[in-house]
Amino acid sequence: MTDPVSRPTFYEGEILPAADLIASVDYPRNQMARHERYVHRWGIAAGLDLTGQPNATAGKVVTASAGIALDGTGKEIVVPDPVTLSPTDFLGSVSPDTTHPESLYPIFLVGLDQAAPPSSNLTGACNSSQPTRTQEKYNIVYGNLGDELNLDQQQGVANITDGPDDGSNNPWRVLLGFVKWDSVVQQFADVADFNPSTGIGRRYVGVNAAEVVSGSGSLILETHPANFSGQNPILALQLREAPNDGKLVFGKLNPDGSVTPVLTVTSNGNLTAVGQISGAVTPGSMQVQSGIAFDGMLLPLPTGINPNDIAAGKVTLHSLVSVHYESVSPLGPHVLVPLECRVDTSTRQIHCRVIDITAALNTNKILPAWCDYVTIVAVPASTGSGS
């Protein structure tokens, strides 16, 4: 049985032992850790950006900026000042692959509790000074190739009532990014936030919530804060109330916090898109294509129609093909009659050939031809006239 969570209480005249005072500190700390652990998702909360600046001699000096992260045990890890990554420490932990300089090595942040040095002014009962503070420190951990995989499988705390881990044994790793290594100059070569070969990048804090409620009449999801300066446009999804209406807006987030809409859905169901809509087609609609095609190719479909939808019976294909005689031009006067001009319904392959009935017996009498085609794809309506 796991002990229940207990809250310290006191009474008048009580002699306070150190354990009770420690419990008074631990109670809110553990409560906060459980909140961070179960209501939020672990990751970077602020800062901790990896940047590389050219070294005076060769390679790059890599720095992690100050910031805050939460680990999977609910522990808050604070990096109060920028920290420079150490090539020596890197080589102490990693065996770089000298044949692949483009390899990306993960950089982790871990939290570590350490007792502060004893106070020189205070003494204990036996005249021996002891620490009166625990310092919440951190370590930079250099990972080998692929160590960023399965970070969600890390072992957290043993019991649901536990407080944060102290980082003394298998501390929880928070991914800050990646470095490249230059084996020639024995320095870092570059930094990256994302490893395209594993599909894993810096992980940020999140929230576990089945319901998010805004009291302002507007709710917005943003891929970065509006004032963020990066390479990619910032995207936003906003739910916004309005008198007698309301809308869902998707688009780019502007520096002033507004959203430039490219897709809007109003509360009465009207959808407006600035770009093209592809993929699913409108029920009850017909899509048309026409042109000239040649023997052997597949019948072209209207734009936006997925051939798999025809095979699956989600839409119905109608086609009309006829020989385009202008295309068949054997030398001299000839009489041509169609041999075949059809579309294979199972493969959509066009069969269009003519016979030259005036050709000599020893010449090619069957000729490939082009056809004029009209393709209509009908999308069934969700309700019919009889409903």
Binding site residues, another protein, CB under 8 A: 276, 288-298, 300-303, 307, 326-327, 329, 347-349, 353, 364, 366-368, 370
Query: Reduced to 3 states, what is the DSSP secondary structure of residue 356?
Result: strand
End-to-end alpha carbon distance in the chain: 62
Q: How far is the CB of 160 from another protein (least distance, A)?
A: 52
Q: How far is the CB of 337 from another protein (least distance, A)?
A: 16
Q: How far is the CB of 351 from another protein (least distance, A)?
A: 9
The smaller minimum CB distance to another protein, of residues 217 and 307, is found at 307
The smaller minimum CB distance to another protein, of residues 197 and 290, is found at 290
The smaller minimum CB distance to another protein, of residues 108 and 370, is found at 370
The smaller minimum CB distance to another protein, of residues 95 and 276, is found at 276
Q: How far is the CB of 327 from another protein (least distance, A)?
A: 4
CA distance 253 to 260: 6
The smaller minimum CB distance to another protein, of residues 144 and 289, is found at 289
DSSP secondary structure letter of residue 359:
S
CA triple 285-289-291, angle to 5 deg: 165
- Block residue for tokens 């576990």: 208
* CB 122 within 8 Å of CB 61: no
Q: How far is the CB of 369 from another protein (least distance, A)?
A: 9
Cβ-proximal residues to 121 (8 Å cutoff; 6+ apart), any chain: none
Q: How far is the CB of 146 from another protein (least distance, A)?
A: 32
**202: nearest Cα among 90, 79, 43, 359:** 43
**365: nearest Cα among 332, 339, 327, 333:** 339
Q: How far is the CB of 353 from another protein (least distance, A)?
A: 7
Distances (CA, A) of 264 to 187, 232, 235: 50, 22, 14
Our measurement of the distance from residue 276's CA atom to the centroid of its chain's CA atoms, rounded to an integer in Å, reads 23
* CB 212 within 8 Å of CB 218: no
Pairing of strands 187-192, 370-378: unpaired
Q: How far is the CB of 364 from another protein (least distance, A)?
A: 4
The smaller minimum CB distance to another protein, of residues 121 and 346, is found at 346
The smaller minimum CB distance to another protein, of residues 51 and 303, is found at 303
**21: nearest Cα among 130, 132, 115, 160:** 132
The smaller minimum CB distance to another protein, of residues 182 and 295, is found at 295
Q: How far is the CB of 172 from another protein (least distance, A)?
A: 45
CA distance 343 to 320: 8
Distances (CA, A) of 350 to 72, 286, 340, 346, 364: 60, 22, 10, 11, 21
Six token digits for residue 129 = 């000074």
The smaller minimum CB distance to another protein, of residues 58 and 366, is found at 366
Distances (CA, A) of 66 to 44, 63, 80, 172, 228: 11, 9, 5, 19, 17
Q: How far is the CB of 87 from another protein (least distance, A)?
A: 41
The smaller minimum CB distance to another protein, of residues 221 and 297, is found at 297
